[in-house]
């Protein structure tokens, strides 16, 4: 891990199952490597478009199929699913770039933003969060972005990405309220990874920003996850533990 130490988990029970969704991306792969290296979990399950079974937000049925696969593996190992990390995300591709003005808003681009950055994670919560145990700390963490904060928006632009991440934060908050009713120790949060040197945000890194490699960014976020309490469920936190405004 390039000399970056894997965090030690203190608050999540040992011998449980951890899940990383979007595990074939730069951040997801780094999460999976840290979790494997920690030796804390009985098994680390990884899902993405290139895994078997595959998970693709363009195929909603694949989300349910992967959730059933996770449940089957948890039952086979006789343990709970204690950690679910959603490391999916979309900002740009060869067809679309973030909007700089209202006249650049495109229906197809905005639809894709919401499908991957809000609807997809909502379906993950629908199918995976019910598997979190009723007792003992368990976490569902999804990658949001600071630009999704309405209160912190001072620059404008990036209409689709900002709006989709703001929607994701609302979904997380709402899910956390429902989870608390029968899983009082469960935690559902949005995490801002910072600017990470990946294909998603690397091309937009400006000089002077703290650009992290995926190994460091994920190690920092795992420390944040380990320190969370149920009272913080529904929150929005940066990689350094700072709570961010909605």
Q: Identify the three-state secondary structure at position 227.
A: helix
Question: Is 243 a member of any domain?
Answer: no
The CATH number covering residue 127 comes to 3.40.50.720
Question: Is 3 a member of any domain?
Answer: no
Q: Percent of the chain, pLDDT > 70?
A: 94
Torsion of CA 86, 216, 246, 166, to 10 degrees: -40
- For 47-69, what is each residue's pLDDT tens digit? 999 999 999 999 999 999 999 99
Closest CA to 114 of 134, 83, 89, 138: 89
Question: Is 246 a member of any domain?
Answer: no
Question: Is 40 a member of any domain?
Answer: yes
- For 85-101, what is each residue's pLDDT tens digit? 999 999 999 999 999 99
**Domain assignment of residue 156, given as a range:** 17-238
Say how many C-beta atoms besides its own lie within 10 A of residue 239's C-beta. 23
Q: Quick one: pLDDT band at residue 1, thresholds 50, 70, 90?
A: very low
* Domains of the chain: total: 1
Question: Is 11 a member of any domain?
Answer: no
Question: Is 212 a member of any domain?
Answer: yes
- For 146-178, what is each residue's pLDDT tens digit? 999 999 999 999 999 999 999 999 999 999 999
Question: Is 9 a member of any domain?
Answer: no
Torsion of CA 141, 147, 153, 155, to 10 degrees: 170
pLDDT given for residue 211 in this prediction: 83
Question: Is 12 a member of any domain?
Answer: no
Distance in angstroms (rounded) separating the CA atoms of residues 144 and 234: 12
Cα→Cα distances 221→65, 146, 171, Å: 28, 14, 20
pLDDT given for residue 240 in this prediction: 96
**DSSP state, residue 116:** I
């Amino acid at each position: 891990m390039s000399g970056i130490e894997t965090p030690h988990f203190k608050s999540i029970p040992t011998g449980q199952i951890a899940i990383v969704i979007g595990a074939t991306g730069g951040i997801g792969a780094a999460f999976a490597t840290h979790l494997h290296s920690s030796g804390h979990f009985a098994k680390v399950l990884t899902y993405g478009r290139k895994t078997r079974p595959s998970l693709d937000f363009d195929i909603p049925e694949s989300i349910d199929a992967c959730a059933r696969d996770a449940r089957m593996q948890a039952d086979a190992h006789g343990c709970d699913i204690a950690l679910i990390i959603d490391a999916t995300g979309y900002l740009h591709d060869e067809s679309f770039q973030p909007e700089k003005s209202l006249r650049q808003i495109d229906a197809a681009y905005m639809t894709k933003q919401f499908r991957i950055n809000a609807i997809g994670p909502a379906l993950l919560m629908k199918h995976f969060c019910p598997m979190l145990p009723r007792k003992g700390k368990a976490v569902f963490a999804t990658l949001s972005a600071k630009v999704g904060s309405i209160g912190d928006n001072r620059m404008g632009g990036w209409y689709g990405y900002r709006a989709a991440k703001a929607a994701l934060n609302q979904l997380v908050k709402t899910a956390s309220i429902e989870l608390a009713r029968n899983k009082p120790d469960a935690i559902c949060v949005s995490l801002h990874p910072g600017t990470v040197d990946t294909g998603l945000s690397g091309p937009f890194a400006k000089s002077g920003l703290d650009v992290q490699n995926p190994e460091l960014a994920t190690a920092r976020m795992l420390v944040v996850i380990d320190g969370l309490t149920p009272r913080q469920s529904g929150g929005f936190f940066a990689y350094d533990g700072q709570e961010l405004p909605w």
